[in-house]
Chains A and B, each alone.
Chain A
């Protein structure tokens, strides 16, 4: 079972949680705390950081700080939804594959092998190529690209759990298979799933921002950090602030999630430690 007391005492978890909660709060409170309208075009284009615009303005005179605060409503949510897709689909596949064994296991695992034979971002780019560019498509693509890893990890844990006595006992008591999987086995394979989900949020945020950066994800004027960074690239030589601050926002968010994930891993699943 999960050692929540150990989790709360872990220093990495604490620092990570502070960073992540800070970013989520910034997004939540964006309409109240952002100094300007994030998509309002003003004549004050490419202005350097000043008291009025602490992070400067972009090529259309939009306040970068305000856009970043509103961006905190996009990237973390994109990461969370993408990982929710990976987790639900991957865990279901892993449970069925590990428990059923035989042909079902064989078919599911070969599909997983095929998906894993593409580097994650390449698979995501392929899916966006099919669906067309856009934030929703990028999110779905990143989510699908994450499914095989979850399926494999859960299958491995289920193979161990299904041999244990409590499963045997439940089976003899006539517990139906779906209930056995969801109520008895699932809670016992959750520790690695929680760790993998947390670390995957970091990967998903980076992947979605990367897709936006190369023009396949969020499209302007959406204040998405990856897209803002891509726009700032053109002005790197003379207006460094346009690209620098959105990138910092991504880095801080991902660092927070990684700290949280590493801390959780140390407490919940030390076997995964590298």
Chain B
């Protein structure tokens, strides 16, 4: 287990290092002078010179990267050009909103996904199974931004039942964005639970559980589901990344003041320090969540860590 842990950690460090190089190079891949691009064509020469100096663009590339890495390691992600605030401060102010949305969606997706997948497996080939699987297919095919708008139209504008924008109304304002964001992972988890459960339903220990007179519910939940849930754990980890990505679009639909909206606004305004900071942050978080998911997987399934 220690060897697996060390290998996995070393790989993550290499990847994070690679990510930092890629994010750093973003600014240098912009066609033309990035300082001019950020300040628009009308900016005068001294403003451009000033920004070039502020971003360190007047130094050799390797020196710029060394300085960038040193700052990042100390938690300094630079200053937003447009908002004139430290990027780390902006991320910290928006992060709780995105985490709230992602956590609500992931919980909803896991609860409903596992339940639907289990019912579907137990009722294999019957109406409930067919309905659930068609529903899952439609779930992964609906564009999140359109589903969000349709939910706004129905529950917000027509029925007036739920708030449609922002996060000022507590739990009520979380319902529609969380539901929109949960759709795709819910469908994925339902499909995975179904196939995992179908694999174990024919096993001897399930027959034994039935033979000793347990109720069907106990057989499914305590015996079969427990053994088929392992792949779902990793997928829940991976889905967190999908949620972070999906949140960008959903936050735009629902005017949710999270990281995703901050990123889109930053890209539209060509505010590169902010774009770089958010991308680095999202990527490193994604690597960490995947690392945790892999470690949990290695812990619950010995075949992985010794394989």
Contacts and interface: CB of A to CB of B under 8 A. Distances in A.
17 contacts: A110-B18, A111-B18, A118-B283, A121-B245, A122-B283, A125-B264, A130-B26, A214-B249, A229-B145, A229-B149, A233-B253, A243-B146, A247-B149, A250-B143, A255-B137, A255-B141, A258-B141
Nearest to B145: A213
A111 B29 CA distance: 17
A129 B153 contact: no
A126 B245 contact: no
A91 interface: no
6 A-B pairs closest in CB distance: A247-B146, A119-B245, A114-B18, A255-B141, A121-B245, A254-B141
Interface residues of A, number: 46
Contacts of B150: 244, 247
Interface stretch (A23-31, A78-86, A176-184, A202-210): A202-210
B177 to A, nearest CB: 15
B140 A258 contact: yes
B112 interface: no
A130 B252 contact: no
A242 B238 CA distance: 35
B267 A129 contact: yes
Interface of A: 110-111, 113-114, 117-122, 125-126, 128-133, 202, 206, 209-210, 213-216, 226, 229, 232-233, 236-237, 240, 243-244, 247-248, 250-251, 254-255, 258-259, 262, 273-274
Given A247-B146, A247-B150, A254-B143, A213 B283 contact: no
A232 B148 CA distance: 13
Contacts of A258: 137, 140-141
B175 to A, nearest CB: 18
Interface in B121-152: 137-138, 140-146, 149-150, 152
Contact of A126 (B16, B26, B140, B191): B26
Size class of B's contact patch? 35 or more
Given A131-B31, A236-B157, A274-B188, A210 B249 contact: yes
Contact of A125 (B14, B152, B267): B267
Contacts of A215: 264, 268
B275 A129 contact: yes
Contacts, number: 135
A125 B248 contact: yes
Nearest to B28: A130
A110 B19 CA distance: 10
Nearest to B16: A117
B65 interface: no
Nearest to B231: A274
A240 B149 CA distance: 10
Chain A CB count within 10 A is highest, among B23, B145, B263, B275, for B145
Contact of A247 (B22, B143, B263, B272): B143
B63 interface: no
B268 A216 contact: yes
B218 interface: no
Contacts of B249: 121, 210, 213-214
